[in-house]
């Protein structure tokens, strides 16, 4: 009988053959969602996934690119925003 925390479907299941020949289910942690641009929704490059505990241990200078709106907007959107002075929603 699986434990309560693995029955909910939050973890992926992988059936593995053990050395004794038995079929055993391994429960594997899912990846966190990619960080997305606030304007266009594309994944941000150079920004780690939203695994809050691991990300918080890394200093902010290593988490996000060094430019205005780094870690919020992608490079293309931040260029447009700075050039045209567009109003960006949800930032």
Single residue of 44, 47, 72, 77 touching Zn ion by CB under 5 A: 77
Q: Which of helix, strand or coil describes residue 57? A: helix
Q: Does 47 interact with Zn ion (rule: CB under 5 A)? A: no
Closer residue to Zn ion, CB minimum distance, 42 or 55: 42
Q: Which H, E and C letters describe 3-30, residue by residue?
A: CHHHCCCCCEEEEEECCCCCEEEEEECC
What are the residues facing 25 on neighbouring strands?
Answer: 15
Single residue of 44, 47, 74, 81 touching Zn ion by CB under 5 A: 74
For Zn ion, the binding residues (CB under 5 A) are 37, 39-40, 74, 77
């Amino acid at each position: 009988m699986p434990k309560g925390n693995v029955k909910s479907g939050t973890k992926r299941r992988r059936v593995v053959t053990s050395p004794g020949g038995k079929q055993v289910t391994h429960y594997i942690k899912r990846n966190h969602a990619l960080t997305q641009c606030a304007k266009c929704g594309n994944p941000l490059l150079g920004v780690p996934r939203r695994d809050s505990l691991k990300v918080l241990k890394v200093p902010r200078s290593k988490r996000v690119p060094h430019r205005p709106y780094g870690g919020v907007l992608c490079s293309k959107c931040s260029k447009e925003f700075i050039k045209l002075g567009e109003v960006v929603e949800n930032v």
